[in-house]
Amino acid sequence: MSHGPTVAGVTPPPHRRRTHPGDLIFRGLSGGSAVSVLAIFVLSIILLFEASRDSLSRWGLPFLWGQVWNPNATPLSPIVFGALPAILGTLETSFLAMLIGVPLSIGIAIFLTELSPGWLRGPFSFVIELLAAIPSVVFGIWGALFLVPYMGTQVDPSLAATIGRVPLLGAPFAPSPVGYTGDGSLTAGIILAIMVIPTISSVSREAFKAVPNDLREAALSLGATRWETTRLAVFPYAKRGVLGAITLGLGRAVGETIAVVLVIGNSYTIAKSLYAPAVSIASWIANTFGESSGLEREGLLELGLVLLGISLIINVVARLILRRSVFTEGMGT
């Protein structure tokens, strides 16, 4: 295609559209915002490494599987820090939160998008979003004043007397030889489940709403029931959004602090059952950071670095699962 008349066989260059100054400003602000997020993340890692340098050099990798947190040196017990009880407590409470919260959240999202009558959908959605706005300290206070006593007097003994007597499966629910206080991983997991339900259900609901109605109508026209339509047409289309919702909820459960501090018991030991007082990384940092100094403070900052690593692993795994899901869909499997 010719761009105009030629002179001596030379074609003039094509006309270039003049860039508007507003476009340049918009591009610069958008790019700066994206770079700033990456810069803040990298800077946070660098600062944590620098602030915990002595702790990292003194304990190294054994810090991850150490089981003792002793900031006061005595002739019989030197200063030593280990992260294993906090890591296990974090993973245990987060797993319980997902085990309880994910099915409930997806059920809520399916009900609001597929089954709920129109007059109920709006108010119900508002209540769910309102729960997401409640500060975590309110959940923690409710848990400490109501849930902890109720768990200690009703739920924990009942679980120990029933599920706890089942071989192998009931090991985490085995009867406690020291009684039931209500504090522990199980209570913390329930509180976290209540806190992540609004996030997971809201994002999942948006994913289900994005499913084209043509898919639903096609499944129903072929004789599928409501359940079959949801399972075979709606859920496969929205599963990437649901996975993103679960990842967001898990990220909140892993990093939650105040609510967990008030109900987990804060005992720096590896809990032998779900009823025993335990600790998470975030709760232990919140409990001890204000009174710490010197090497202990550096150990707590190293714990923060471990928590950051756990969050990174969670997001990387979620990305890999999502990429695999997209790849298999593209292959037609």
**Does 94 score more than 90 pLDDT?**
yes
**What does the pLDDT look like over 287-307, one tens digit per residue?**
898 888 888 899 999 999 999
- Taking alpha carbons only, the member of 299, 289, 297, 278 closest to residue 89 is 278
DSSP code string of 209-272: HTS-HHHHHHHHHTT--HHHHIIIIIHHHHHHHHHHHHHHHHHHHHH--HHHHHHSB---S--S
The residue to which tokens 């409640």 are assigned: 134
pTM: 0.85
- Mean pLDDT for 318-331 is 66
| pLDDT for the residue numbered 7 | 52
In this structure, the dihedral spanned by the alpha carbons of residues 175, 179, 185 and 190, taken in order and rounded to 10 degrees, is 90
Structure tokens at 203: 């994002």
Distance CA 278, CA 275 (A): 9
Please tell me the least confidently modeled range out of 215-229, 286-300, 312-326.
Answer: 312-326
Three-class DSSP category at 134: coil
* Residue 213: alpha-carbon gap to chain centroid: 31
Nearest to 152 by CA among 124, 184, 130: 184
First CA to last CA distance, the chain: 44
Residue of higher predicted confidence among 8 and 49: 49
Q: At 91, list the tokens.
A: 């993973």
Mean of the per-residue pLDDT values of the chain: 85
pLDDT for res 330: 53
Confidence of residue 168 (pLDDT cuts 50, 70, 90): confident
CB atoms within 10 A of CB 29: 10
**What does the buried/exposed string (b/e) look like for 141-180 if buried means 16 or more CB atoms within 10 Å of the residue's CB?**
ebbbeebbeebbeebbbebbeeebeeeeeeebbbbbeeeb
Residue 225 has pLDDT above 90, yes or no: no
pLDDT exceeds cutoff 90 at 114: no
Supply the pLDDT for residue 17: 62
pLDDT for residue 314: 87
pLDDT band at 226 (very low <50, low <70, confident <90, very high): confident
Q: Please, what CATH class does the domain formed by 90-280 belong to? A: mainly alpha
List, for residues 196-215, the tens digit of each pLDDT value. Answer: 999 999 999 999 998 998 98
Q: Rounded to an integer, what distance in angstroms lies between the CA atom of residue 118 and that of residue 232?
A: 24
Q: And the tokens for 113?
A: 């998008």
- Angstrom distance (rounded) from CA 219 to CA 235: 12
